[in-house]
Amino acid sequence: MTKHHKDLKMSLKSILERYCLIMLIGGFALAISGCERDDITLPSETTTSPPEEQIPLPEGKTLPPEKKTLPPEGMVLIPEGEFQIGSNDAEADDDEQPVRTVYVDAFYMDETEVTNAQFKEFVLQNPRWQKNRIDGRFHNGRYLWDWDGNNYPKGKDKHPVDSVSWYAAMAYSKWAGKRLPTEAEWERAARGGLVDKKYPHGNTLTPRDANYGNNVKDTTAVGRYPANGYGLYDMAGNVSEWCLDAYHSGFYSTFPQEGAARNPLAGANTIQWILDNFTDVNVDVSRVRRGGNWFDMARLPRVAARRDSKPPSAFHVIGFRCVRSVTVTP
């Protein structure tokens, strides 16, 4: 081989080695770059999806209302609002006047009067209120008159408990986590959303509507007659129902002539005071009864009719039902 050919061969070999070295260095750098890229999270992997576009509602349409809290079992919601308390009817008594506007907060009320079966559960858990143990200050000697000890008359488990004093009704309601209604709450509930009507169902009362007028000659099982507009049974007749208030014949005359009396209460400044001190309430200060009873003639179960008895009174025509204030969540 000539010297020229040898020099050419050496030159080609040198070029080839340099090329291989360059390629090797370049590949190694690319590999490092790839590894570093694996450690980086791309922007598309870190950003969240854009918020969904808010599509405006068609004109005149609104979102559905939020789900409301259901009333406690056995109770119905009586909505807040104003109503006319009292009556200008020809049958109205003087203590039902003057008619005034009253506002009451929303509350829950028992669908029915408290039954014998419910009251028995109470006395079994609270021996001091049993027929043979109750303090003499809290009844008139006729407490649970038809009961045999702690047992109500056979077959009357669903009849309203009767012969219950105001003190015993207060004790039961407190035990049940409830209370007696104010007189204003009771009348608003009894009216069932109707305006200027005599009875819970309208302006007439028949034996198909309620247990009154000695037609049955005794109490009847709760819920036997039609409910009013709020879903309450026996707001007229069956048993007369205790209220929280002290009786004041001229109570409505203390309400403002313009505007509305808000949550009126007679006999105390606050509901809580009565709940905390009910056993200290004066035995000679009458409490309100509402609703008429199974023996009363038709004018007495009117929604505006007011009755009163001393708090120890326990008679066969007197019972009660309970309410519970609606808790407002801010």
Res 68: pLDDT: 67
Residue 45 C-alpha from the chain's centroid: 51
pLDDT higher than 90, residue 39 = no
pLDDT higher than 70, residue 204 = yes
pLDDT higher than 60, residue 234 = yes
| pLDDT class of 14 with cuts at 50, 70, 90 | low
Residue the block writes with tokens 């599509």: 55
In contact, 128 and 168? CB cutoff 8 Å: no
Mean pLDDT of the chain: 86
Res 18: pLDDT: 56
d(CA 304, CA 186): 10
d(CA 83, CA 102): 6
Tokens of 168: 């015993």
Res 65: pLDDT: 56
Residue the block writes with tokens 């309620």: 210
Alpha helix ranges (H) inside 39-108: 43-46
Residue 2 sits at φ, ψ, to 5 deg, of -80, 165
Across the range 182-191, mean pLDDT stands at 98
Torsion sign across C-alpha atoms 236, 238, 239, 241: negative
Res 46: pLDDT: 43
**Percent of the chain, pLDDT > 90?**
77
Res 156: pLDDT: 98
Tokens of 175: 């035990």
| pLDDT class of 187 with cuts at 50, 70, 90 | very high
Res 69: pLDDT: 80
Q: Render pLDDT for 40-78 as a digit per residue (tens, 0 to 9).
A: 343 444 444 444 455 555 555 555 555 568 899 999 999
pLDDT higher than 60, residue 6 = no
Q: How many CB atoms within 10 Å of residue 278?
A: 21
Q: Render pLDDT for 170-186 as a digit per residue (tens, 0 to 9).
A: 999 999 999 999 999 99
Across the range 318-328, mean pLDDT stands at 91
Res 57: pLDDT: 53
Across the range 206-230, mean pLDDT stands at 98
Res 4: pLDDT: 44
Across the range 246-268, mean pLDDT stands at 97
Residue the block writes with tokens 């002290």: 246
pLDDT higher than 60, residue 97 = yes
Q: Render pLDDT for 287-309 as a digit per residue (tens, 0 to 9).
A: 999 999 999 999 999 999 999 99
Report the range of poorest mean pLDDT among 18-32, 116-130, 141-155: 18-32
Across the range 231-238, mean pLDDT stands at 98
pLDDT higher than 50, residue 154 = yes
Res 171: pLDDT: 98
Tell me which of 146 and 31 has the higher pLDDT.
146
Res 327: pLDDT: 76
